[in-house]
Amino acid sequence: MKRIHIAIALVTIAAVTALAVGIGGVLAQDGGDGSDDGDGTEFTYQGDITAPEFPLDADWINTSAPVRLSDLRGKIVLLDFWTYGCINCMHVIPDLKRLEAEYSDVLVVIGVHSAKFTTEGETENIRRVVQRYGVTHPVLNDRDFVTWSEYSVHAWPTFVLIDPFGKIVGQLSGEPLYPRIAPIIATMAEEYGAAGLLSTEPLPQAQPESSAETADTPLRFPGKVLADPAGDRLFIADSGHNRIVITTLDSFEVLDVVGNGNEGMTDGDFAEAQFNFPQGMELVGNTLYVADTENHAIRAVDLDARTVTTVAGTGKQGFDRLRHGPGTEIDLNSPWDLVAHGDQLYIAMAGIHQLWVYDLASGDVGPYAGSGREALTDGRLKQAGMNQPSGIDTDGERLYFADPEASAVRTASLDPDGRVETIVGTGLFDFGDRDGVGNEALLQHVQGITVADDGVLYVADTYNHKIKRIDPATRESVTLAGTGEPGLADGDAASAQFYEPGGLDYADGKLYVADTNNHAIRVVDLAGGTVRTVEFANEARLSGAADAASAESDTIAAPAELPEGAILQPAQTVGVGEGTLVINANIPEGYKLNDAAPFTAIWDDNPLVQIPADSNPYREVKPHLPVEIPANFAEGQTELVLNLTVYWCEAVNQALCFVDRSVLVVPLTVSAESDNHSVQLERELVPPSVDNTLN
């Protein structure tokens, strides 16, 4: 929970029944006690104090006109006081959506956005966040804390409940929301509804804003990036599309897409897997670990098997700050970023203000550093206070993490007996945009951090729309790129513009930046001092992501009509000239290729793919898999068709043998810009069921 100031007492109402007593300190506008409302009928939850009116000159989002309290008569009204950098405020959005769905006719939620940070007070920035998180109810920009003060609010998030007569019933602060307030709203809906006092007419001003401007962008609010120079890959958390995008590191050719774009928590192959606003990633071997933030989980992406599994988290938000145990049995709380060292995967656990660790060998997970108390307090690992850690990296000697709610950059020892120390940052409400050394420097809600080869830190100074360079030894912080004004401008680093960048990663003298509100990936060349925006070599492969519910997420363009029974392969891009066709049959455990029958591959004629005559058809008994066949590629787009026959048997005594005949179709782009020279084809073999009908 966020506090507006340390010196102000926090209003916490733990008991649900406390809502019935109203809010002390809120003055009635008309002096009435509400006793005449409802013809003297008494209700379990009924207010006495008239709710203060909204400011006349405030900006509104998701409405066609300002909302007045008189417009809300006959409705149960829930005011949500929030600020968009607050992780606790983000956590209750699903609760609000659930309540709105369950009481759609009689409940109106009004978001009152009272900004902590300067950047959060700008209406356009709030609008972007409303789109990012799919908030559709009316939102008031309370940038001057007028409504906050009128309702005597002291903390984020706080919820004020108003009855159908416009009287304040009471308030709750903190999270979770749903289990505490749902019984109250249910009672109000039943009692006021039975009395005929509820209106089911929709709010006339309600007009959820379309996010059409981002619907067709290749990416939508990307949160984090991970560079893999050894594998020539860039991993992008395409957070708003609930998926991971994999491209080449230099040409930005889309190699693969992990996840079908639907919000959910489903394990399986790349096409069926689902994420919910994924953020940070880490590569260990050829397994990509993903902080699946809004699923409160860590997911493992096997890049060889092309599968996604959940290795930590249950899908439920956890509040236990002490528990260790098997990963899939422990509730996590908004994991935001990851970094590995040895066999340990360290987690920036934003939602519970701690660093956690997942043991890659044992699969156990639990707290590593941080008491769970939100504070900028240094000290021994378990005693230090943290503030929504959202970025993490290591130089092999210590962990570095971004602590956004304190606008701080901090370090934690890799020695379990070590300490947490602060490099830049002085307090929860000390923020700004000032270069300097140590306590002289100011950041604003820094969310991303990476360590360069020379040990220098680069951070995404998110709310300042900048990239900054920090020397951990001298504690000097200087602006590297960005003017401080939100925008999208390339060129010289000093004049370049970003818009709330959320993550970045260093590789080979370059910074790869997730420029979140620009829905873009930017590249900062450290030697040249320039910034450029990534253009994907095969952008069409990412199109339509927002409507990917029923489409193959990693298909460029499916053939208009597949051969009967054909199996569509992932769309691929290959370079012009000599290359290789790679065929693999994935044989389940306990089975093998037939010792006597040939593995056969026959290619349909294709004007863009020329295969030597002695390789088409290809026939060989028990070949070494995968099979590689030479080919020559000409520029253009096509569908490559393979007719594959595989004979296979039980491995031990070959009591049963099978034949699998399949047609594999690959949507293929041949481009001179691609440095990929192989086309991959996969066939999963599944043992058929055999019915013995004779005894």
Q: Is the pLDDT of residue 13 over 60?
A: no
- The more confident residue out of 32 and 446 is 446
Indicate the pLDDT class of residue 11, thresholds 50, 70 and 90: very low
Distance from C-alpha of 360 to C-alpha of 527, rounded to nearest angstrom? 36
CB neighbourhood size of 179 (10 A): 9
Indicate the pLDDT class of residue 543, thresholds 50, 70 and 90: confident
Percent of the chain with pLDDT over 70: 89
- The more confident residue out of 6 and 229 is 229
- pLDDT the model gives residue 583: 95
Indicate the pLDDT class of residue 683, thresholds 50, 70 and 90: very high
568 beta partners: 665
Q: Is the pLDDT of residue 560 over 90?
A: no
Indicate the pLDDT class of residue 530, thresholds 50, 70 and 90: very high
What value does the mean pLDDT take over residues 458-479? 98
Q: Is the pLDDT of residue 32 over 60?
A: no
* 252 touches 235 (CB < 8 A): no
Q: Is the pLDDT of residue 694 over 50?
A: no
What value does the mean pLDDT take over residues 675-679? 93
The pair of three-digit structure tokens given for residue 84, joined into one six-digit string: 């968009």
- Reported as a single tens digit per residue, the pLDDT across 444-467 is 999 999 999 999 999 999 999 999
Which has the minimum average pLDDT: 39-43, 464-468, 688-692?
688-692
The pair of three-digit structure tokens given for residue 497, joined into one six-digit string: 């513009």
- pLDDT the model gives residue 565: 72
Which has the minimum average pLDDT: 167-181, 232-246, 509-523, 540-554?
540-554
Q: Is the pLDDT of residue 244 over 50?
A: yes
- Reported as a single tens digit per residue, the pLDDT across 231-242 is 999 999 999 999
Q: Is the pLDDT of residue 47 over 60?
A: yes
Helix (H, G, I), strand (E, B) or coil at 130: helix
- Reported as a single tens digit per residue, the pLDDT across 422-431 is 999 999 999 9
Percent of the chain with pLDDT over 90: 78
Q: pTM of the full predicted structure?
A: 0.75
The pair of three-digit structure tokens given for residue 268, joined into one six-digit string: 């399986």
Indicate the pLDDT class of residue 37, thresholds 50, 70 and 90: low
In whole numbers, what is the pLDDT of the chain averaged over residues? Answer: 89
Q: Is the pLDDT of residue 397 over 50?
A: yes
- Reported as a single tens digit per residue, the pLDDT across 306-354 is 999 999 999 999 999 999 999 999 999 999 999 999 999 999 999 999 9
What value does the mean pLDDT take over residues 158-184? 96
- pLDDT the model gives residue 561: 54
Q: Is the pLDDT of residue 157 over 80?
A: yes
The pair of three-digit structure tokens given for residue 528, joined into one six-digit string: 């040249």
Helix (H, G, I), strand (E, B) or coil at 69: helix
- pLDDT the model gives residue 370: 98
Q: Enumerate helices (H) and strands (E) in the chain, giving the number of each.
A: 6, 49
- pLDDT the model gives residue 63: 96
- Reported as a single tens digit per residue, the pLDDT across 97-110 is 999 999 999 999 99
Q: Is the pLDDT of residue 77 over 50?
A: yes
Which has the minimum average pLDDT: 389-398, 495-504, 630-639?
630-639
- pLDDT the model gives residue 350: 98
Region of 87 on the Ramachandran plot (φ > 0 left; ψ -120 to 50 alpha; else beta): alpha
The pair of three-digit structure tokens given for residue 179, joined into one six-digit string: 């289990």
Phi and psi at residue 410, to the nearest 5°: -135, 170
The pair of three-digit structure tokens given for residue 165, joined into one six-digit string: 């007569």
Region of 527 on the Ramachandran plot (φ > 0 left; ψ -120 to 50 alpha; else beta): alpha
Indicate the pLDDT class of residue 562, thresholds 50, 70 and 90: low
- Reported as a single tens digit per residue, the pLDDT across 284-314 is 999 999 999 999 999 999 999 999 999 999 9
Indicate the pLDDT class of residue 540, thresholds 50, 70 and 90: confident
- pLDDT the model gives residue 449: 98
Distance from C-alpha of 169 to C-alpha of 175, rounded to nearest angstrom? 19
Q: Is the pLDDT of residue 413 over 60?
A: yes
- The more confident residue out of 89 and 38 is 89
Q: How far is CA 214 from the centre of its chain?
A: 16
Indicate the pLDDT class of residue 41, thresholds 50, 70 and 90: confident
- pLDDT the model gives residue 595: 81
- pLDDT the model gives residue 215: 55
- The more confident residue out of 666 and 2 is 666
The pair of three-digit structure tokens given for residue 657, joined into one six-digit string: 């043998």
Helix (H) or strand (E) holding 188: helix 178-194
- pLDDT the model gives residue 488: 97
Distance from C-alpha of 78 to C-alpha of 102, rounded to nearest angstrom? 14
Q: Is the pLDDT of residue 480 over 60?
A: yes
